[in-house]
Amino acid sequence: MGMRIHPSLLSADFANFQRDIESIPSADGLHLDVMDYHFVPNLTFGLPVVEAIRKVTDHHIDMHLMIDDPDRWAPAYAEAGCESVTFHVEACKAPVRLARELRKLGARASMGLKPQTDIAPFEDILPELDMILLMTVEPGFGGQKFLDIMLPKVRRTRELVKKSGLDIWIQVDGGVSESTIDQCIEAGADTFVAGSAVFSADDPDGMIRTLRERAEELSAHCH
């Protein structure tokens, strides 16, 4: 199973995005959080900033839309050339329709779940998805402490994906670091959003490589 580290630009320097992106060539993708002050109590950036980032990097762009009405707004991110677009199922009116639209526009369709949202009701729509993002903190702010009570949900999600026989990435987002990544891997995650762990390190790119090596080594033992 391939292990992917997606540094979150929420922890980068907003005034120096390009510099910080260039400092992490080893990243498997860039995780961009769009927040709208409605779905979550924070405001980050929107489509114009994402389009500007798209112009300065060839990295896989992993969009995480923590916004109301993703049915209306998410397709524009796929049109802007983002390889993966995550909408939150709690804010989405028609997840199947939206996932199909994202795929049609050439993006991977991903569904995000807040900590209190159970994966079980969505088993039937797994064939429409390329990734499931499980929040391991309450969404809205970077630098929060990892909620280990979410690990059983990661396990349940891995079991459902396994049962489906589909190739769906399982991403954990929130508090992922050297001290928490092991638990996430053991629970079945394969894609990791790491923000402060990467950007507060003396060598951000070195930290990405360390996390990936750790993930691959442990995954070989676990699965």
**C-alpha distances in angstroms, 137 versus 5, 33, 67, 146?**
17, 14, 16, 6
Please measure the distance between the N-terminal and C-terminal CA atoms of the chain and give it in whole angstroms.
8
Q: List binding-site positions.
A: 8, 31, 33, 64, 140-143, 173-175, 195-196
pLDDT for res 140: 82
pLDDT less than 50: residues of the chain: none
Q: List binding-site positions for a divalent metal cation.
A: 31, 33, 64, 173
43 beta partners: 36
Q: What is the CATH number of domain 4-222?
A: 3.20.20.70
- CA 66 from chain centre, in angstroms, equals 11
Spell out the domain ranges in the chain.
4-222
pLDDT for res 223: 61
pLDDT for res 1: 59
Instruction: Determine phi and psi for 214, rounding to 5 degrees.
Output: -60, -45
pLDDT digits (tens, 9 = 90+) for 6-34: 999 999 999 999 999 999 999 999 999 99
Considering the candidates 20, 33, 36, 190, report the single residue annotated as catalytic.
Answer: 33
Q: Is 167 labeled as catalytic in the residue annotation?
A: no
Residue 158: closest CA among 213, 222, 209: 222
Q: List binding-site positions for substrate.
A: 8, 64, 140-143, 173-175, 195-196
Residues 54 and 61 sit within 8 Å (Cβ to Cβ): yes
Query: Which stretches of the chain are DSSP H helices?
Result: 17-22, 47-56, 70-79, 95-104, 151-164, 181-187, 196-199, 204-222
Neighbours of 25 (CB within 10 A): 10
Considering the candidates 20, 28, 36, 173, report the single residue annotated as catalytic.
Answer: 173
Q: Is 205 labeled as catalytic in the residue annotation?
A: no
pLDDT for res 66: 98
